[in-house]
């Protein structure tokens, strides 16, 4: 039920984006800095890692993507884009709480 509700929200966000409305979530800057996200990612250009826009595009309509990505952000996991997996949170800047992972993934998927 909750997952269904979340999917509706995501679908709404996708519609808003395709209608040309500005980006959804504000950047959680402190978390992004602490976890060095922008060391490997940019918002719109693939660099060492896929861009956040590519990631949002790929997962926007995928059920349970939010939960899968939160888990991956905290603990790492196998690569979905190429050969290089993303290092887990402890190797990026310190442990990441479930709540903070949720905030980050919501932000990425709103790009």
- Using CB under 6 A, list all residues that contact ligand HEC: 35-37, 39-41, 48-50, 55, 69, 72-73, 79-82, 84-87, 92, 104, 108
**Minimum separation from the CB atom of position 76 to ligand HEC (A):** 9
CA distance 110 to 106: 6
CA-CA distance, 73 to 7, in Å (whole number)? Answer: 20
For the CB of residue 36, give the shortest distance to ligand HEC in the complex, in Å: 4
Cβ at position 41, least distance to ligand HEC in Å? 5
Nearest to ligand HEC of 13, 55 (CB atom): 55
Distance CA 23, CA 14 (A): 10
Closer residue to ligand HEC (CB): 10 or 55: 55
To the nearest whole angstrom, how small is the minimum distance from the Cβ of residue 22 to ligand HEC? Answer: 20
**What are 2-10's contacts with CB under 8 Å, separation 24+?**
3/63, 3/64, 6/66, 7/63, 10/60, 10/61, 10/66, 10/109
Coil/strand/helix, residue 69: helix
Nearer to ligand HEC (CB atom), residue 16 or residue 28: 28
Which one, 14 or 40, has the nearer CB to ligand HEC? 40
Query: Using DSSP, how many helices (H) and how many strands (E) does the chain show?
Result: 7, 0
């Amino acid at each position: 039920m909750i997952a269904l509700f979340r999917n509706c929200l995501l679908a709404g966000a996708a519609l808003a984006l395709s209608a040309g409305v500005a980006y959804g979530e504000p950047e959680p800057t402190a978390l992004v800095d602490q976890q060095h996200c922008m060391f490997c990612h940019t918002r719109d250009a693939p660099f060492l890692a896929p861009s956040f826009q590519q990631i949002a595009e790929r997962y926007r309509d995928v059920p349970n993507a939010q939960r899968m990505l939160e888990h991956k952000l905290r603990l790492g996991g196998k690569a979905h884009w190429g050969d290089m997996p993303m290092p887990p949170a402890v190797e990026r800047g310190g442990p990441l709480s479930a709540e903070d992972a949720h905030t980050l993934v919501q932000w990425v998927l709103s790009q």
